[in-house]
Amino acid sequence: MRAGAGYLCAVLMSILLAACAAGEYRVPAIAPIALFTGIGTSAGDVSALEKLLINERLNYATVNSSQLNGISESQLRQYRLLIVPGGNFEQIGKQLSSTTSPKVRDAVQNGLSYLGICAGAFLAGDSPYNGFNLTSGLRFGFYSAELRGVRKAAVAITAAEGQTLDQYWEDGPQLSGWGAVVARYPDGTPAIVEGNAGNGWVILTGVHPEAPESWRRGLTFKTPVTLDNAYAAKLIRSALNRERLPAY
């Protein structure tokens, strides 16, 4: 029996090595949520989202740049939701292969939900840096504070149901021209939007409701971090469960 078991292990190992040598891609552990952690994402934002997902008891798997490049569209659709966090959307896009963007777009149009936060929202548009173009050719610009030289701020957003929340903003987009407006910036432009991309459900946010207390240093917030983080959890669950939020 020992010799037989050893022989079986050797055969299995040779098969695995052959598959690896052939460049066969192995999908990350399947969970309801895939959290993108690739090159260009903010390590601090990834950490904030992981803490939030754990606190909300939501199972997730992390997917890096090479994994997203290697995964097939059908494998990607084994997840229910793809979250792309904040960071440098130009750097994120440049690390994706030319086939990755259309693959993500196809997965969403075939039913995958997508939550894009800041850089992830820029990438959801027709970004010149391998954008996913979930928006039928629409490209997003920066929120107007950027034009005034402001790079980060506590920004009051007003949700369609009337709630006003001070949110952490850093070089984020305004999301005019696509989807239903869930919340607006003080200048009236959309801060959070939602809508369908084919059969997929998409939520985009230009602000960071998931931001931890440590990001608030030097800024003045009227809204406690617990309330902002609860709103982030609401966005995640709405994207995961394909539930429409109240919209203007």
Residues near 209 by beta carbon (within 8 Å), at least 6 away in sequence = 165, 167, 168, 228, 229, 231, 232, 235
Q: At what angle do helices 225-240 and 43-55 cross, to 10 degrees?
A: 80
Question: Looking at the 3D structure of the chain, how many domains does it have?
Answer: 1
Asked whether residue 161 carries a pLDDT value surpassing 70, the answer given is: yes
Give the model's pLDDT for residue 26: 55
Asked whether residue 6 carries a pLDDT value surpassing 60, the answer given is: no
Q: Is residue 208 part of a domain?
A: yes
Residues near 174 by beta carbon (within 8 Å), at least 6 away in sequence = 140, 141, 142, 143, 144, 185, 187, 189, 190, 191, 206
How far is residue 206's CA from residue 129's CA, in Å, rounded to a whole number? 18
Give the model's pLDDT for residue 225: 98
Q: Is residue 69 part of a domain?
A: yes
**116-136 confidence digits (pLDDT tens):** 999 999 999 999 999 999 999
Q: Which helix (H) or strand (E) holds 221?
A: none
How far is residue 116's CA from residue 104's CA, in Å, rounded to a whole number? 13
Give the model's pLDDT for residue 27: 56
Q: Is residue 142 part of a domain?
A: yes
**171-229 confidence digits (pLDDT tens):** 999 999 999 999 999 999 999 999 999 999 999 999 999 999 999 999 999 999 999 99
Q: Is residue 247 part of a domain?
A: no
Query: Secondary structure of 58-117 in the HEC alphabet?
Result: CCEEEECHHHHHHCCHHHHCCCCEEEECCECHHHHHHCCCCCHHHHHHHHHHCCCEEEEE
Q: Which tokens sit at 5? A: 């078991």
Q: Is residue 19 part of a domain?
A: no
Mapped onto helix, strand or coil, the DSSP state of residue 175 is: coil
Phi, psi of 50 (to 5 degrees): -60, -45
Q: Is residue 13 part of a domain?
A: no
**78-117 confidence digits (pLDDT tens):** 999 999 999 999 999 999 999 999 999 999 999 999 999 9
Q: Is residue 5 part of a domain?
A: no
The enclosing domain of 47 has a CATH number of: 3.40.50.880
Q: Is residue 198 part of a domain?
A: yes
CB 49 within 8 A of CB 85: yes
CB 71 within 8 A of CB 27: yes
Provide the domain limits for residue 79: 27-240
**22-53 confidence digits (pLDDT tens):** 344 455 667 999 999 999 999 999 999 999 99
